[in-house]
Structure 1
Amino acid sequence: MCRKLTALFVLLIPFQFLFAQNNLLKDFPEGFGPKEVGKRLAYRFPDKKHMLHAGKWISYPETFNWTGALKYAKLTKDKVLLSRLEERFEKLTSQEKQLLPIMNHVDLNMFGSLPLELYQITKDKNYFDLGMPYADTQWAVPQKASLQQKEWADKGFSWQTRLWIDDMYMITIVQAQAYKATGDKKYIDRAAKEMVLYLDELQRPNGLFYHAPDVPFYWGRGNGWMAAGMTELLRLLPKDNKDRPRILKGYETMMKSLKDYQRPSGMWNQLIDEPDCWAETSGSAMFSYALISGVKHGWLDKQEYAPVARKAWLALVPYINEKGDVAEVCVGTNKKNDKQYYYDRPRNVGDSHGQSPYLWCIFALLEK
């Protein structure tokens, strides 16, 4: 009898371990649950002031903060929050029309992803009509385009291509949203082709990315944009898409490197490979989003990466203050071939650069 019980116990060990692995991204201590953390962050957004781009238009950090709050409202069926977010958007399209971004830059065209998210939630065609031109003009070459921009377009890429790693979320997200809104594969296909270009040009053998070809530093949030962009594509790309294997390989290589560079605390540094650099929240949250998604969608081995993703989430939450603002967020950062420049970047509290990636993590943790 004793031998039978021992044998049964041995057989159960793998199942117990697997059960524990499955729960790593479900069961959290009090104060760390994605639904409760998400409510603090999502309800913080409607009360925040606009974060403008060059003082003129709704910025990409605010756009993504807004979209993250919408995803939370949709996922949790929070009609009160959804109503508040729609009311704020209605004001943007009536009293604040001057804040709607123009369609002439990668950091501005991404705005289309927001009305397209609203369209998918509400089915209000006004949102569709507002959002789609932002996706379409990203490939429609303007008359005043430069020679280099026309050359990119002639090769089938966006005329807004500039080979900065930030672009691979800015371009990917509006094209992905257009694909979800229309079902037209041209949007996701061209986003995938663009991603392969950036992978081939910027990803290094260790899986990380230079900020740009002439800036050989592994900036945290910049790499986060790549991680999140690949994640968005892998969520949507059909299995038979010709570019999917290349993107998946780039993603897997990056995730392995991120596992190796994760700090003992669970965070990642402003310059990922520099041990004496400071821990930065926005990039760390973007990496966490990519890791959580990879584990839950089966792109990453659960036993190897679920503990990495959980460790990151548990490290990130304490950076949220009592107001629902995230601390230690690197400010907006242009490329510069100067390592000290990245060390010295100011750190903000409540900056939308940091708020939105946390909401992406929450979305990934809550989705089935």
Structure 2
Amino acid sequence: MEPIAAEALKLPSRLLYKQQTEALIGKVIGRMQRLDATIQEDTPASIITMDTWDWSQGVGLFSLYLYYKETGDRAVLQFLVDWYERRIAEGLPGKNVNTMCPLLTLSYLYEETGEAEYLRICEEWTAYAVDEMPRTPEFGIAHNAVDNESRNELRGDTLYMTVLLVGRMGMLLGKEYYVQESIRQFLVHLKYLTDPNSGLFMHGWSFEERHHYAGALWGRGNAWYTAGLVDYLDMTELPFGVEMFLLSSLERQVEKLAELQAPSGMWHTLLDDPTSYEETSATAGFAYGILKAIRKGYLSESYRACGLKALEAVIGRIDEDGAVQGVSYGTRMGRTKQFYKDIPRCPMPYGQSMTLLMLVESLKHYYE
């Protein structure tokens, strides 16, 4: 009888966690959908509100789509459809690395709705990314955006904002060349951005100046890999050797992350600098990527405690209204480490997004 009694003691905690988390998810989603700028922005269009077609909003939209697929919540699906219909009616922005990001979710909405215009837009933009987007030496996608016109710079952000789309569309359209191009981008970015000493990733590399700028091991830049890779592996079919290579990079990264995790469960915006502030979006992205990688068998169970500690820390950063606090604003390439320490913090779509993904993933782990 003792095992039954022990199991009975677990059930209320499990059910309570599920109920509390689902309520928290509702708050986080609701707040994402009505974010307002609380700081003075320095971008041509807001990357805080959800009313703009850009990378920040694109990250948020993708988490909402994954939540819809997990739950079947038709209200979330309708929000997504309405969002894209409004943006398309307004006219889409110019094509660059960052504005590619919302196309990832649109490609899935095409499958949900059968709307031919969605597929046409995705095909047009992906073809541009593959065939026309400016390249660095060794054919890496140059991180060109509205506020950055360097044609010879790699940034880790590109993998999440553009390369996931290329791989996804390769699978959707049956274009193996697109999948192979996405592989090439992962490999060239890892070649130039991986810090050989730690296994973490630098923010960027300049082919013109031949350096890593400030040499910053930037938190959210690393989280794009941790969170992005586990979803990339879901949306593409890769050669076994490539998959193993990417996962070995993930394992080495997470090994170092576990070492650098603060006592609070958070990670600093500069991962190896405890004098820099603890940053929530990176922590949520790490928690999501680590926990999902464990569930998928990509990482050892030994990292579960690290992921759950980060989860609990991020939950502590969600306010009563569902806003995720302690999220650094959009971060350009810094030439000094102090630059990263000075980035302001406020609720952002990607902070809400990474937190949403983390919370949904946590329901598959807690009290198992």
Q: Would you say same fold, with TM above 0.5?
A: yes
Q: Does 1:132 align with 2:127?
A: no
Name the structure 1 match of 2:234. 235
Q: Scaled by the length of structure 2, what TM-score is found?
A: 0.81
Change beyond 3 A, Cα 1:346–1:320: same
Q: Secondary structure of the equivalent of 1:163?
A: strand
Partner residue in 2 for 1:175? 166
Q: Note closer, same or farther for the CA distance 1:55–1:228 as it changes in structure 2 (3 Å cut).
A: same
Aligned residue number for residue 286 of structure 2: 287
Give how far 1:178 is off: 1.2
Q: Is the 8 A contact 2:230 2:289 kept in 1?
A: yes
Deviation at 1:33, TM superposition (A): 5.0
Q: CA deviation at 1:34?
A: 4.3
1:332 corresponds to which residue?
330
Query: Is the contact made by 1:31 and 1:37 (CA closer than 8 Å) also made in structure 2?
Result: no
**1:207 corresponds to which residue?**
199
SS in 1 for 2:286: helix
1:341, 1:31 → 2: CA distance? 40
Could you tell me whether the CA contact under 8 Å between 2:291 and 2:361 is conserved in 1?
yes
Q: Does 1:358 align with 2:355?
A: yes
Instruction: Report what 2:343 is aligned to.
Output: 345
Q: 1:34 to 1:191 in 2, by over 3 A?
A: farther
> Following the alignment from structure 1 to structure 2, what is the Cα–Cα distance between the partners of residues 240 and 33?
41
Change (3 A) 1:118 1:53: farther
Q: Secondary structure at the match of 2:155?
A: coil
1:323 pairs, out of 321, 324, 333, with: 321
Partner of 2:147: none
Give the Cα separation in 2 of the matches to 1:182 and 1:361: 30
* 1:44 equivalenced with 2:31 (yes/no): yes
- In structure 2, the CA distance between the partners of 1:163 and 1:156, relative to structure 1 (3 Å rule), is closer
TM-score by length of 1: 0.81
- 1:273 Cα offset (Å): 0.8
**CA apart distance, 1:253:** 0.6
CA distance in 1, matches of 2:255, 2:178: 29
Q: What is the aligned residue count? A: 335
Gapped regions of structure 2 (runs ≥ 5): 47-51, 144-151, 205-211
1-side partners of 2:141 and 2:155: how far apart? 13
How far apart are 1:315 and its partner, in Å?
A: 0.9
> Hey, what does 1:277 align to over in structure 2?
276
Question: Per the alignment, do residues 318 and 42 of structure 1 end up closer, same or farther by CA in structure 2, a change over 3 Å counting?
Answer: same
Matches within 5 A, 1:1-368: 27=14, 30=17, 33-48=20-35, 54-55=44-45, 58-94=53-89, 96-97=90-91, 100-103=92-95, 105-141=96-132, 149=135, 152=137, 155=138, 157-158=140-141, 162-205=153-196, 206-212=198-204, 213-238=212-237, 240-302=239-301, 304-348=302-346, 350-365=347-362
| Identity in percent | 24
Equivalent position SS for 1:108 = coil
Residues 59-86 of structure 1: per-residue CA shift (max 9 Å, x gap): 2111111221122122111112222332
The structure with the largest alpha-carbon Rg is 1
Cα distance in 2, alignment partners of residues 79 and 115 from structure 1: 16
* Runs of 5+ unmatched residues, structure 1: 1-8
Secondary structure at the aligned position of 1:319 is classed as coil
* Aligned mates of 1:53, 1:133 — CA distance in 2: 26
Q: Indicate the RMSD between aligned Cα atoms, in angstroms.
A: 3.0
Q: Which moved more, 1:312-321 or 1:124-133?
A: 124-133
Q: Note closer, same or farther for the CA distance 1:364–1:121 as it changes in structure 2 (3 Å cut).
A: farther
Residue 102 of structure 1 and its aligned partner are, at CA, apart by 1.8
Q: Distance in 1 between matches of 2:110 and 2:238?
A: 26
* 1:301–1:140 Cα change, 3 Å: same
Partner amino acid, structure 2, of 1:328:
G
**TM superposition shift of 1:219:** 1.0
CA distance in 2, matches of 1:275, 1:158: 32
The code of the aligned residue for 2:120 comes to D
Please state how far the C-alpha of 1:355 moved relative to its aligned partner.
Answer: 1.3
CA contact (8 A) 2:142 2:154 kept: no
